[in-house]
Amino acid sequence: MSNTFIDVSRINQNLSRTSDVSPSTVLDILETAKKAKGLDMESTLILLQVEDPELQEAMFEAADYVKNLIYGKRLVLFAPLYISNYCKNDCAYCAFRASNSDIARRFLTQAEIRLETEALLRQGHKRILLVAGEAYPPGKDLDYVLESIDTIYSTWVDGANIRRINVNIAPLSVEDFRRLHDAQIGTYQIFQETYHPDTYKKVHLSGPKADYEWRLYAMDRAFEAGFDDVGIGVLFGLHDFRFEVAAMLQHIQHLEKTFGLGPHTISVPRLEPAHGAEIAMDPPAPVTDHQFKRIIATLRLAVPYTGIILSTRETPQMRREAFRMGVSQISAGSRTNPGGYGEEENAEEQFSLGDHRPMEEVIVDVMKLGFIPSFCTACYRLGRVGKDFMDLAKPGLIQAYCLPNAMTSFAEYLEDYAKPETREMGYEMIDSMMDDLPGEKVRQHVAEALEKVRDGHRDVYL
Ligand code: SAM
Ligand code: SF4
């Protein structure tokens, strides 16, 4: 195997060293983790392997503590928008794989993208994750994606538009990344799927994605092209989760060392059943619910300032439990087929979803759990991205912005989209959170901003 920053033998050595440690060692690690300065690989691997229920509970509490310290009680909401399922890769786990002739290939025209965006705006969404398979539709090139971004940003419904588009499309060359960056997107996101080189080879059978290193160095090219915010992830279920998390830490360390900046977000997709993808029905390294919760809590403690994204692949129950373990962003009301928001049937979806609830139901649930749903896009719009964001996030200052902006953006949602009973519940929550704001001056600013929202002003943020 070639020489990359993923050091397989070092991970394996650490794995064998960390499988059996005393409870006091675990408790010491949790104390260190609560300082929110992150953890090294050895401590991370120890936490990932904690089986004792009491120690696990202590770990979940520590993760909740750190998440609150950094982000407060807010959960950012977004929805994916699939623009095309054309793909030239053969990923053994995905329904969009080139060899799956059972699905109809489809890409959205700009008019259809506008309709999908309108449907999402009517639900109250302000953030979209644009997703596509790795092939431009017939006769198209990168311009198709750039035009789609432009279409989404320029679609308005009742005075509202999408304020941040994150993008999950195949890795590009530095030159093409520059063009994507110029389209004013938020985070560029791509998952390595598995960092384990041999497993990677087994599940990526053909196409450009079969090149492990091209994908591994995608974030390097994105940073070189000028991106500030990138999102990484692993598709859990393909290889041993402990190896994957350790390798993800090596990826983060590599980015920090090379560019002075780690990823903005980490996604934690778990393999879900997908049509025409046997491996997805019977994952080679399944991750149990218990292990999954440990992964999320450990990540929150190991890289405290990084956003953790949980999608609707997971069931409502798992999502509820994961919120308190450090998840900071969730998708809601999602469809994973192109054209899914305008259609009754979910034909040609990429994989099965675990959470089918409409957005408002998710919002009510999130509130009942004590979290405030946030549609905030302020940091990105004010240029608080990349290192500037991390400099704020690391000492916990982001709470002075995150919570106020969660409150104002949620108030907008309540005014414009919520049913009366949701609105009442939402404002009660907002009122109760005034005391959590850091200082009288911030409280005053937020009270004024909320008044503006009630008076009909929109896009009010601090
Ligand atoms: N085609 C591009 C790629 O593969 O990077 C970008 C979009 S792809 C549609 C988005 C992600 O879906 C993949 O990175 C993969 O992790 C995830 N995915 C694919 N099949 C899945 C499955 N059966 N269950 C859960 N997630 C899956
Ligand atoms: Fe194509 Fe992405 Fe699915 Fe692989 S995961 S088959 S690249 S859409």
Work out which ligand 1 atom sits closest to the CA atom of 82. Answer: 9
Work out which ligand 2 atom sits closest to the CA atom of 350. Answer: 3
Q: Are 42 and 14 in contact (CB under 8 A)?
A: yes
Residue 203 C-alpha to ligand 2 middle, in angstroms?
Answer: 11
Ligand 1 contact via 93 beta carbon (within 6 Å): yes
What number of CA atoms fall less than 13 Å from residue 420's CA on the CB side?
0
Region 177-192: mean pLDDT is: 97
Pairing of strands 156-157, 160-161: antiparallel
Residue 170 C-alpha to ligand 2 middle, in angstroms?
Answer: 8
pLDDT of residue 334: 87
pLDDT of residue 30: 98
**Who's near 159: CB < 8 A, 6+ residues apart?**
458
* Angle at 111 (CA atoms; ends 108, 116), nearest 5 degrees: 70
Given a cut of 60, whether residue 1 has pLDDT beyond it is no
Return the closest-CA partner of residue 322 out of 357, 291, 350. 291
pLDDT band (50, 70, 90) for residue 345? low
Mutate to test the pocket of ligand 1, among 83, 85, 94, 206 (most ligand atoms within 8 A of CB): 94
Region 186-205: mean pLDDT is: 97
Residue 94 C-alpha to ligand 1 middle, in angstroms?
Answer: 7
Regarding predicted confidence, which is higher, 227 or 347?
A: 227
pLDDT of residue 250: 98
Q: In percent, how much of the chain has pLDDT > 90?
A: 78
Return the structure tokens found at 289. 């619910």
Mutate to test the pocket of ligand 1, among 83, 191, 265, 331 (most ligand atoms within 8 A of CB): 191
Residue 201 C-alpha to ligand 2 middle, in angstroms?
Answer: 14
d(CA 71, CA 22): 31
Nearest CA to ligand 1 atom 11: 191
pLDDT of residue 457: 93
**Which residue has 């850091």 as its token pair?**
438
Residue 203 C-alpha to ligand 1 middle, in angstroms?
Answer: 12
Question: What is the chain's alpha carbon radius of gyration, rounded to the nearest angstrom?
Answer: 21
Return the structure tokens found at 89. 């890769």
Ligand 2 contact via 171 beta carbon (within 6 Å): no
pLDDT of residue 344: 52
**CA pseudo-torsion sign 236, 240, 244, 246:** positive
Which residue stretches of 282-419 are H helix? 289-302, 316-323, 359-368, 378-381, 386-393, 399-416
Burial zone of 198 (CB within 10 Å; 0-12 exposed, 13-18 middle, 19+ buried): exposed
Given a cut of 70, whether residue 305 has pLDDT beyond it is yes
Ligand nearest to the CA of 236: 1
Regarding predicted confidence, which is higher, 364 or 343?
A: 364
Region 244-272: mean pLDDT is: 96
Distances in whole angstroms, Cα of residue 317 to Cα of each of 75, 293, 343, 369: 16, 12, 26, 12
Which residue stretches of 138-196 are H helix? 142-153, 174-182
Q: Are 393 and 432 in contact (CB under 8 A)?
A: no
Residue 363 C-alpha to ligand 2 middle, in angstroms?
Answer: 30
Type and span of the H or E element at 447: helix 440-454
**Which residue has 């041993």 as its token pair?**
240
Work out which ligand 1 atom sits closest to the CA atom of 190. Answer: 5
pLDDT band (50, 70, 90) for residue 337? confident
Regarding predicted confidence, which is higher, 368 or 326?
A: 368
Return the structure tokens found at 352. 């099965």
Return the closest-CA partner of residue 87 out of 123, 117, 132, 128. 132
Region 266-271: mean pLDDT is: 96
Region 420-432: mean pLDDT is: 97
| Average predicted confidence (pLDDT) for the chain | 92
* Angle at 289 (CA atoms; ends 74, 273), nearest 5 degrees: 100
Given a cut of 80, whether residue 99 has pLDDT beyond it is yes
Return the closest-CA partner of residue 396 out of 2, 34, 91, 3. 34
Q: In percent, how much of the chain has pLDDT > 70?
A: 95
Ligand 2 contact via 93 beta carbon (within 6 Å): no
- How many CB atoms sit inside 10 A of residue 444's CB? 11
**Which residue has 């503590």 as its token pair?**
65
d(CA 16, CA 12): 6
pLDDT of residue 220: 98
Ligand 1 contact via 271 beta carbon (within 6 Å): yes
Q: pTM of the prediction?
A: 0.95
pLDDT band (50, 70, 90) for residue 93? very high
pLDDT of residue 395: 59
Nearest CA to ligand 1 atom 3: 170
Return the closest-CA partner of residue 312 out of 73, 80, 133. 80
Nearest CA to ligand 2 atom 2: 133
pLDDT band (50, 70, 90) for residue 398? low
**Who's near 125: CB < 8 A, 6+ residues apart?**
77, 78, 79, 162, 333, 359, 375
pLDDT band (50, 70, 90) for residue 392? low
Nearest CA to ligand 2 atom 8: 133
Given a cut of 70, whether residue 226 has pLDDT beyond it is yes
pLDDT of residue 462: 82
pLDDT band (50, 70, 90) for residue 312? confident
| Helices first, then strands: H and E counts in the chain | 20, 11
pLDDT of residue 349: 75
Residue 314 C-alpha to ligand 2 middle, in angstroms?
Answer: 19
- Residue 307 φ then ψ, to 5°: -65, 140
Mutate to test the pocket of ligand 2, among 107, 131, 134 (most ligand atoms within 8 A of CB): 134
pLDDT band (50, 70, 90) for residue 393? low
pLDDT of residue 397: 63
pLDDT tens-digit readout, 30-73:
999 999 999 999 999 999 999 999 999 999 999 999 988 887 88
d(CA 296, CA 302): 10
Return the closest-CA partner of residue 83 out of 60, 111, 61, 63. 111
Given a cut of 80, whether residue 379 has pLDDT beyond it is no
